[in-house]
Amino acid sequence: MAELPVMPDESHHGTAFVDTRSPKRMAIIGVTPYLYYEDADAALTWLEEVLGFTDPVRWRDESGRVSEADITAGPAMISISGSKTPAHLDDALLIVNVDDIDAQYARITQATDIHVDAPVDQPYGPRTFTIRDPWGYSWTFWQGHANPPSGT
């Protein structure tokens, strides 16, 4: 596969990458995770009550079951399918940036009986902790920025 020609574009807030192959400038403005939960209603409730996500929107099929949904985590939207959860989630990791890792840890440990290790200062910069939801997705809460390796 050929490498895509991209150039940084500083005209937006932050850096966007612009596809230089077409005459129209195209900026990437975000990424939306699309997760599969067999019981989307239960998952949405858990995401709200335990992780503190907000504003769920549910689309139901004729039987009343959630077929699609959206929920927000800060400014980010997460889309959810009400279909079978994939069997292999070990490679999936969702990072949620927060401004107070200790407050988020306290919130989560008060809202669930799932064991969660305390936040840890990582050698590469941020303070983090991870919780695996009842369906197998890993959610890592992250405060701070990663420090680039020296010499880069």
Q: What is the DSSP string of 32-80?
A: --EEE-TTHHHHHHHIIIII--EEEEEEE-TTS-EEEEEEEETTEEEEE
* 88-143 confidence digits (pLDDT tens): 776 678 999 999 999 999 999 999 999 999 999 999 999 999 999 999 899 999 99
* 51-87 confidence digits (pLDDT tens): 999 999 999 999 999 999 999 999 999 999 998 877 7
The neighbour count for residue 110, using CB atoms within 10 Å, is: 8
Whole-prediction pTM: 0.75
The neighbour count for residue 146, using CB atoms within 10 Å, is: 10
- Select from 122, 119, 99 the least CA-distant residue to 52: 99
What band does 11 get if pLDDT is binned at 50, 70 and 90? very low
CA distance 106 to 91: 26
